[in-house]
Chain A
Amino acid sequence: MIYLDNNATTRVAPEVLDAMQPYLGEFFGNPSSAHAPGREMKRAIEGAREQVASLLGAADTSEIVFTSCGSESDNWAIRGVLAAQPAKKHIITTLVEHEAVRNLCRLLENEGYEVTWLGVDQNGELDLDSLRAALRPDTALVSIMLANNETGVLFPINEIGAIVHENSRAAFHVDGVQAVGKIPINLANVDLFAMSGHKLHAPQGIGALYIRKGVSLSPLIIGGAQEQGRRAGTSAVPNIVGLGAACRLAREDDDHARVERLRNGLEDEILRNVPNARLNGTADRSKRLPNTSNISFEYVDGQNILMHLDQAGICVSTGSACHSTTHESSPTLRAMNVPYTAAQGSIRFSLGRYNTEADIEITLSILPEIVAKLAAMSPYDKELAKLK
């Protein structure tokens, strides 16, 4: 299998599994218990918290709270900020956020909040002047992602945070789920930052939220006094230990440069050799994640490409409407004004630490043939003829 879908989820790293193993067998206990096994659990959790804080560059480990996933972190950050300042009814976010933010903000519109939806240009980039103009005295929250899950386009959160804090008293939340483990993180101007373990080789079912000291956040889950009373529920010790190990791995054994070289080779070759291929997201690679390429194969269907690649043992994902549960083409690509016939043929290649040179070579040897076969079947034969 050639796995090029690391933005969807990643394989649990053997180092992570090794770190977790004792906590799935030999060591057990409730970290809230006062006895020795309980204390061992507590120690393991705090060790992991240090690893997460260190990867994110948090000033203090107490700024890291463990959650069940990235979506919980996003939901908590947003709802928690709003609950802590109920008089403010304005939110600013973007049209290209992950569903965990976008769908929650849609829901909040029905709950009496006014949401300013910032758009992006055809490169997927934000206009910071429109952000500045949207800030108001009653803006409670600005929620903007660091890296887009579909295109890998990065938003300049350091600059955005500065604009938010200079021009308002709003809290600045960043959905960092897709970025952590792939690029260095700078939290200097960030109040809240969501991350998820399974995007960086920890298991599914573990996330974390960075809460800058001094930011007031109401709890989302009510119960016991775990996580300094901020997030109730018995701590998932094995998963937390796994997340800590994954963060250590990302920091110490960083091979982003190698992954980026593989990605660049894949992207360059596809764009060069496939006549109906076009890149989605800025061509300026310094403004994109090093592992992601989103390419549209115009006038053919992305789900068809996906199925043919799948048959060849290659895993990718698509922004085609049919494939999605909502039967809508990708909101990110729509916000970028990607033509419908191109959005339908979009394929996301997202690489990771276990990809090899051979993976890319094999993919490049198979993909153009698949696209050519589908193009020969396309009812857009006149349009395709013009591209040759």
Chain B
Amino acid sequence: MSDHFFNPRNVGDANEPRFVGRSASLTCGAHVRFSIQVDEGHAISQAKFRAAGCSDLVASASLLTERVTGLTTADAATIGPEHLEGVDPRCAALARDALLDAIRDFSNAARDDWAGDEALICTCFFVSERTIEREIQSRGLTTVAEVTKACNAGAGCGSCHQLIQEILALL
């Protein structure tokens, strides 16, 4: 943790095209900016941060950039403050919020560009109706939670839970 503070990794801005997220705390006055680059497979190929905040915040953001590089945005979004050891959980949560905001920025842009010919159910993590149907049928899934676990659909904002429920009811 102390090494990540004194020698933070991945400081700066990700290369263009990048997706940017911010978070700030009115309690402690800290401010973080996270920027990510995402490849065609929705994996984070580069993660960078800037921060004005305490040593724990800097260390959290630095740790997080290392942790999420190579993960899909859906997997990166599941990382919580509890997964960053040795730092104040409040600071870790603030860094994580900036990461989520960057993932959201990517999702929003990708959704606008969605060119698939199938219906998109989970707009947070781009899971199509066909994928969800395939997962349900091949694995015999019966609940939304199982679907989310299987293919990330519904892991974001939750607005598609109703749609997933309906697909489950139809099959």
Contacts and interface: CB of A to CB of B under 8 A. Distances in A.
Given A300-B52, A301-B53, A377-B58, A308 B30 contact: no
A317 B20 CA distance: 33
Nearest to B62: A377
Contacts of B33: 379
B50 A344 contact: no
Given A308-B6, A311-B6, A379 B28 contact: no
Contacts of A35: none
B52 A378 contact: yes
Interface in A181-210: none
Interface of A: 299-301, 303-304, 307-308, 311, 320-323, 327, 329, 340-341, 343-345, 374, 376-381
Contacts of B54: 301, 303-304, 320, 322-323
A311 B55 CA distance: 12
A376 B55 contact: no
Contact of A327 (B27, B55, B58): B27
A343 to B, nearest CB: 8
Nearest to A324: B28
Nearest to B27: A327
B31 interface: yes
A301 B30 contact: yes
B51 interface: yes
Given A322-B29, A327-B28, A379 B52 contact: yes
A380 B32 CA distance: 10
Contacts of A341: 52
B50 A340 contact: no
Interface of B: 5-6, 8, 11, 22, 27-33, 50-55, 58
B52 A301 contact: yes
Nearest to A303: B54
B29 A340 contact: yes
Contacts, number: 58
Contacts of A321: 27-29
A305 to B, nearest CB: 10
Contacts of B28: 321-322, 327
A322 B11 contact: no
Nearest to A345: B52
A344 B54 CA distance: 10
A377 B8 contact: yes
B31 A379 contact: yes
Contacts of A380: 31, 52
Given A307-B55, A376-B11, A377-B58, A320 B29 contact: yes
18 contacts: A301-B29, A303-B54, A303-B55, A304-B55, A307-B5, A321-B28, A322-B30, A322-B54, A340-B29, A344-B52, A377-B11, A377-B51, A377-B52, A378-B52, A379-B31, A379-B32, A379-B51, A379-B52
Contact of A299 (B6, B52, B55): B52
- Nearest first, the 5 A-B pairs at minimum CB distance are A379-B33, A379-B50, A322-B28, A322-B54, A321-B29
Nearest to B28: A322
B140 to A, nearest CB: 47
Contacts of A308: 6
Nearest to A299: B52
A304 B2 CA distance: 12
A136 B7 CA distance: 58
Contacts of A311: 6
**Most A CB within 10 A of own CB, among B6, B8, B22, B29:** B29
A336 to B, nearest CB: 16
B55 to A, nearest CB: 5
B29 A329 contact: yes
A166 to B, nearest CB: 43
Contacts of B30: 301, 322
